[in-house]
A and B are shown apart, each in its own frame.
Chain A
Amino acid sequence: MPGSRVEVERLTHAFDGNVVLRDVSFSIEPGELVALTGPSGSGKTTLLQLLGGLDRPTAGRIMVDGIPVHALRHATRYRREVVGFVFQLHHLLPALTAQENVQLPMVAAHVPRRERDLRAHELLDEVDLSGRARSLPSSLSGGERQRVAIARALAGQPRLILADEPTGSLDAAATERIWQLLAAVRERHGSTILVASHDASLLRHVDRSLAIRGGAVCEQPASNLAPPPPPATGPDHHDRAPAEL
């Protein structure tokens, strides 16, 4: 399944008169893996939520594969069939097992039980967690939880994956693993992926990078992409705090 083409035109969003995004325009080609950077409070989450049809913009247009997302009254179908969302906090339901959490989008789509079980198994396999299918989120590590959340985002076979700081609370090794996983998903499924992150290590995996600053979105200069790999100062270099952008 090819990835989505995303076209954002003159997008503006304000909360109670407080403008977060001002007249923003950009586009993402099908199958691109793009980073979204910007300081805390700059509007990364806001932009991803607008793209994912979780909120409607104050003004402007968002076209995803020709779907006018900005104008959808009920984005239910769009959320279910086009988008896979990975949240800043994993938002797994605590009472459900990993497998059941992964199945949630499929329940909404009325996928029959047997097929759900099968697909959930495949998806957990894809994020390397097939052994933890029956575990509750509380017994999983932070990295494992995010991988379950990624598996859940993949459940609807989305053409567009939106990931909001999926590595927020993970160490460098777990973070790297998530990036590799997202890159692999892009390779395998051809999905378009937009990842918001503070973590510089993401930049080694993406095609390009967008930055939000002062309500504007601009292309990050290519020179800032792919910083040199962290110096190997010894066997314990994984313990360093991840570099901030």
Chain B
Amino acid sequence: MTALLQSFESLERRPLRTFLTALGTALGIATIVALLAVAGGAQASATKFLSLGGSDLGLFQRDAADPTTSVLPLALVSELRRTRGVQAATPLVLLVGEIHRSPGAIAFGAYPDSFVTDRYVFLQGHMLTGDRQVAVGSGLAAQLHLHVGDTLSIAHRELSVSGIYHMGVPEQDDGAVIAFGLAQALAGKQGEATTIAVSLAPTVSRSQGVETIRRRFPGLLILGDGVSAPRAGVSGVLLSRLALVLAVIALVIGGVGVMNTMLMAVTERRTEFALLAAVGWSGPQIALRVMAEGVLTSLIGAALGLLLGVIGAQLLVGLLGAGEYVAPNVTAWDLGRALLVGVLLGVLGGMYPAWRAARLSPAKVLAER
């Protein structure tokens, strides 16, 4: 404790250097936090589209950065309906992050009499009947304590809850359904959809159906066929791998920064450490004093990094133009990890300088003048 207090004092004496070192660590940690948050958000969003339910397929624009940014022309729907093996096709517009009381929930814009919504089992009330109504999934209703007749705000529209459904697919039960036209208007997608759900005829096998659609519409990404499914998560997975690599680089830079500063401090204050040795401080006691300074510096950095990271995550999402679909989620676990990393950086970066300080020869150093 004393060691920590004293190291705080010695950091206070060199505020600029401490700040710059801490900033180095902070940038490293901010990078990690931002990337993890975005990657986590992207992955979470992407995987949600995998389950449209049942044996259906979800069609997305193939070259979209992420399935969430997919845009398909509505004209495709009637073409699909004419395709052999397709029993039904219906467009969906997905709104992510627009249910403000539950940012992770998806609002599905769908036609109330489509094959997707026909499967909903209503626990209370009924399917929506107009632009001013919303049907709420059982999970979301439980979470927000919603009942029929309550209002739910989606993209700043106050909608009245017409019914509460259960489907058995978590993403849909934790979301809500609004009128297709309203969703289009809210998303600014006139004449377009995010995805088109397709139900295959029982007469064709799944792979046959997928093959037919693939040949006819090579520009489409077909999800739900068990083959392409993992691709939906691809950008998310890639992003989190990239995050890991960048994080390691950032950490090395942060660690080297801490080490450099601590080495400088040890060199400057060699008389201090030699004196401590001369009056009976043990090697480990001296090393601990140096380490405490390193850890304290990088903890300051970590705290700063968390802040920058949370801000950075928003900026990054904005920069990538994915703000509509990727909601960066910074979890307490992310924050805890970042702090842990801060301590680790201080310990790792401080280790060599601490060892140097503990090994100084008091005879040599104290005789210098």
Contacts and interface: CB of A to CB of B under 8 A. Distances in A.
A, B from the same assembly? yes
Interface of A: 45, 49, 52, 54-55, 74, 76-77, 79-81, 85, 87-89, 91, 93, 95, 104-105, 107-109, 113, 152, 155-156
Interface stretch (B67-75, B255-263, B275-283): B275-283
B367 A49 contact: yes
B interface secondary structure, majority: helix
A91 to B, nearest CB: 5
Contact of B271 (A45, A54, A91, A95): A91
Given A74-B282, A108-B285, 11 more contacts: A45-B367, A54-B278, A55-B361, A76-B281, A80-B279, A85-B278, A88-B369, A104-B276, A104-B281, A108-B282, A155-B279
A166 to B, nearest CB: 14
Contacts of A74: 282-283
A95 B366 contact: no
A88 B276 CA distance: 16
Interface string B79-123: 000000000000000000000000000000000000000000000
Contact of B363 (A49, A80, A93, A105): A49
A95 B278 CA distance: 18
Contact of A85 (B9, B13, B279, B283): B279
A77 B285 CA distance: 13
Given A91-B271, A95-B13, A105 B366 contact: no
B272 interface: yes
Given A91-B271, A107-B2, A79 B10 contact: no
Contacts, number: 68
B366 A76 contact: no
Contacts of A45: 367
Given A55-B361, A107-B2, A108-B285, A89 B369 contact: yes
A108 B37 CA distance: 45
Contacts of A108: 276, 279-282, 285
Contacts of A52: 278
Contacts of A93: 272, 275
B362 interface: yes
Contacts of A77: 280
10 contacts: A49-B362, A49-B367, A55-B361, A76-B281, A79-B277, A81-B280, A85-B279, A89-B369, A91-B271, A95-B10
Nearest to B361: A55
A104 B362 CA distance: 15
Contacts of B276: 104, 108
Contacts of A104: 275-276, 279, 281
Interface string B1-27: 010000001100100000000000000
Given A91-B271, A93-B275, A54 B362 contact: yes
